[in-house]
Structures are given as C-alpha cells and as structure tokens.
C-alpha cells in the first residue's frame, strides 16, 4: 500500500526580518527546490498551499522522514540563520485523502492547537512532528530544553561563484562557491585573500552547501562546483558528522559535478587525517582539492591519485614574496605530475602572477586576478587569456571577448 501524508511547515515569524507577506512564497520556493531534488520519482509531491504538501511513495508503507528532516535545516538557514532549533517545525499528518485535504486548510493557529489537543484534527488522522534526526515525535510533546543551534548562523544571504581557469584550454573548468550574509561588511570568498574570509568557518561551510544545491537547481551546471569545507571540521568527529549530515541534501546523481575544496590544509597532514577526509567526502563529491598556504606542501607523502588536486593560496604579502611562493610551489611540479595530482594556485591578484603561473605550467588558476565574484557560474565557458580577469559575466565587452 502506498504511503501518503501531508507535510506541514510551521514557522516562528517573530524570529526573522522577512516580511510576513513574503514568508509563504519563500517557504514554497525553498521547499519546492528541496522536493524537486530529493523527493524523486516514483515518489510524488503536490503543493497544497505555501505551507502544505501532499507526499506519496508508492513503494513504501511509510514516508522517509529521515530525508524530509533536512528540509527544516534548509529553511532554518535560508530564513532564520542562527535561531533556535524550533524556529522551523515540520509536521506530518497521516490519514485518508479527505482528512489530508481538510488538514491542509488549517491555519497555523489551528495546527498549533491540534498539537496540544489532537481531538481537533480531522477524524481518523494522526499528527506527529519530524525531529532533526528524522524520528517522529507524538503530539502533544512534553516540554524539553532545546540547546541553541551550533551552525547555520548566516541568516539571509547572497550566493556567489568565482571561476577556476584552465590556461592550456583557455576556459573556465568550474567555480568556487561562496555565501555572504546580507549585512556583511564585505563579500566572503575562499580565493580572494584573508580580508574576505568568514569569521565563522562552520557556518560558512554549511551555507555553501545550500548555495551548491541552489546552483544545481537554478542553473544548467556543466562544469565543477567547488564546495568549501574546512580541514579542521573534517578531522573533528562531531563537526564532521554535522556537516556530512547537511551535505546529504546534495543530489547523489550530481556527484561528478561536485568537488570538495578542503581549505587550511597543513603542510604535512597525516595519512590517517587524509584518509578520514577523503573517505568522508567520497559518497557526495566526485573530486577533492586540498588548499594549503604552504608552497612546500608535502606532496611526496601522498599516493598516486590520492586527491584530485592541491591548490596553493598565495600569501597576503608584498608582490616579491607572493611571486617567490609561486615559484617555490611550482618547483615541486615533478612530484605532482608523478602522482597524477594537478597543481593549482589561488588568490592570484596581479597580471605578473597570472603570467608567471602560466609560464610555470600551473594547471588551474583562481582569484580576483582571474575572475571576480559572480552571481552565476562561469564554468564551462571558453575565455581568452587576454580578456582576464573576468570582471562581470554580463559586461558586453567581456561577454563578446568570451
């Protein structure tokens, strides 16, 4: 027998700056994106109103609430930022078709009242809350102490992408994603130097997962999307588990379009640490890039194809120091080629750095001297070296050059 139920979204509108009249359409937008990507055929979803969806799964006796639980996390990040855990609640109402249609017409106050007194529900129906781990909690609930959320503290955001350039082919082969809070003093970027680094790495990494999901849905992605994730997060069990749980929202069928860009990698990571990093990322990401600040990164300790690439972040220093770091990194080119691991350089700012990197046969280049931050991906586009840096994808002159 097919599983059927009504998914209902409850919001605490007092904890967001989004106007009340805009909340419903935003909930519907993000919920529909989520369901389109994760609730795949033969499972079906039907939007009943801004806050209610009829879900069916002809192959199961019960809906997969573990998967649905991730929707509350996405809505929390998009609409509330930090908030507390119950800023977004997902309710599941099970019953026959008539009962589901009747429940869909309930106002938010009606649903809250039914959570305290289930006799107010349509006859024959059962209402439960979907917890963060996907378990179903009966209502009414006993009072519990809810700790503050540890991540997703950005609130309303602006997404961005910066192209990664392949000089030999004179084309952008992908984009490094970023996500910036609307009220931030400057944009956040992992390829533009220290002044553009986020203060809260865990929240930034989590927000970039949501950016990746939006880009996959909103754009026809033909090249790689590089999703930033801190090395320290991946080697700490609790932080790694929390981030991987969020990354589960990314569609597995897009694995070959997703690359993990692991930043702040030390000069000589241990074999155990690297095994933990690559093992954790393998299910979701088709490629892994290690981004380091040390031009003498110990590539000799890595096995053949241990990762896809290693990228040097040029230091925020005087031009001669930056050029010296680039040369030092390129001096290990034989070791990279021998292990079939590509070498890249990021935070490129000036023409001299770009030209030297090309002369030294660095495979991939990024930074403001290659591509400024864009509102959409540029990966997959041919672009002549003479037209770099790419300032604005929609500039008529540069667009013609590209």
Q: What global pTM score does this model have?
A: 0.64
Mean pLDDT of the chain: 87
- Most distant pair of Cα atoms in the chain: their distance: 76
Q: b/e per residue, 325-358, with b = 16+ CB within 10 A?
A: bbeebbebeeebeebebbbbbbbbbbeebbebbe
Range among 44-53, 99-108, 174-183, 377-386 with highest mean pLDDT value: 377-386
Tens of pLDDT, residue by residue over 112-141, are 888 888 888 998 888 998 887 788 888 886
Q: How far apart are CA 311 and CA 292, in angstroms?
A: 6
pLDDT at position 147, please? 27
Cα–Cα distance between 348 and 371 in angstroms, integer? Answer: 9
Looking at residue 145, its pLDDT comes to 30
| pLDDT band at residue 400 under the 50/70/90 scheme | very low
| pLDDT surpasses 60 at 330 | yes
Q: What is the mean pLDDT of residues 153-175?
A: 89
The pLDDT value recorded for residue 117 is: 84
Whether residue 219 has pLDDT greater than 70: yes
The answer to whether residue 160 scores a pLDDT higher than 70 is yes
Residue 169 CA to residue 172 CA, distance in Å, equals 9
User: How high is the pLDDT of residue 399?
Assistant: 36
Spatial contact of 179 and 208, defined as CB atoms under 8 Å apart? yes
Select, from the ranges 111-115, 150-154, 235-239, 393-397, the one with the highest average predicted confidence (pLDDT): 111-115
Q: What confidence score (pLDDT) does residue 263 get?
A: 96
For the cut 80, the answer to whether the pLDDT of residue 13 exceeds it is no
394 pLDDT tier (thresholds 50, 70, 90):
low
Place of tokens 């799964």: 57
Q: Are 353 and 371 in contact (CB under 8 A)?
A: no
Residue, of 144 and 54, whose pLDDT is higher: 54
Provide mean pLDDT across the span 357-374: 97
Residue 203's pLDDT band (boundaries 50, 70, 90)? confident
């Amino acid at each position: 027998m097919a599983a059927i139920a009504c998914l209902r979204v409850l919001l605490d509108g007092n904890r967001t700056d989004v106007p009340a009249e805009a909340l419903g359409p935003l909930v519907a937008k993000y919920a529909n994106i989520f369901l389109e990507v994760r609730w795949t055929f033969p499972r079906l979803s039907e939007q009943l109103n801004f806050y209610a969806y009829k879900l069916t799964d002809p192959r199961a006796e019960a809906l997969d609430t573990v998967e649905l639980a991730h929707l509350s996390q996405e809505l929390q990040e998009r609409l509330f930022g930090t908030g507390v855990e119950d800023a977004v609640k997902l309710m599941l109402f099970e019953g026959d078709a008539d009962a589901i249609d009747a429940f869909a017409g309930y106002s938010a106050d009606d649903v809250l009242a039914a959570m305290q007194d289930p006799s107010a529900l349509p006859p024959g129906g059962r209402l439960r809350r979907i917890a963060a781990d996907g378990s179903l909690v009966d209502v009414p609930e006993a009072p519990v102490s809810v700790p503050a959320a540890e991540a997703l503290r950005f609130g309303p955001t602006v997404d961005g992408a910066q192209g990664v350039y392949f000089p030999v082919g004179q084309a952008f082969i992908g984009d490094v994603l970023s996500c910036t809070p609307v009220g931030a003093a400057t944009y956040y970027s992992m390829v533009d130097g220290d002044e553009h680094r986020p203060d809260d790495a865990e929240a930034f990494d989590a927000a970039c997962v949501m950016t990746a999901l939006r880009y996959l849905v909103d754009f026809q992605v033909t090249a790689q999307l590089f999703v930033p994730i801190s090395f320290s997060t991946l080697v700490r069990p609790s932080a790694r588990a929390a981030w991987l749980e969020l990354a589960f929202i990314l569609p597995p069928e897009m694995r070959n379009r997703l690359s993990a860009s692991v930043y702040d990698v030390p000069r000589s990571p241990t074999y155990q640490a690297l095994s933990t990093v690559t093992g954790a990322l393998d299910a979701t990401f088709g490629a892994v890039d290690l981004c380091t600040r040390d031009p003498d990164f110990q590539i000799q300790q890595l096995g053949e194809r241990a990762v896809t690439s290693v990228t040097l972040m040029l230091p925020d220093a005087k031009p001669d120091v930056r050029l010296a770091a680039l040369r030092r990194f390129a001096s290990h080119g034989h070791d990279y080629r021998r292990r079939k691991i590509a070498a890249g350089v990021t935070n490129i700012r000036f023409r001299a750095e770009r030209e030297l990197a090309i002369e030294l046969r660095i495979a991939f280049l990024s930074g403001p001297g290659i591509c400024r931050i864009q509102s959409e991906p540029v990966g997959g586009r041919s672009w002549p070296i003479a037209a770099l840096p790419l300032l604005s994808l929609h500039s008529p002159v540069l667009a013609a050059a590209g």
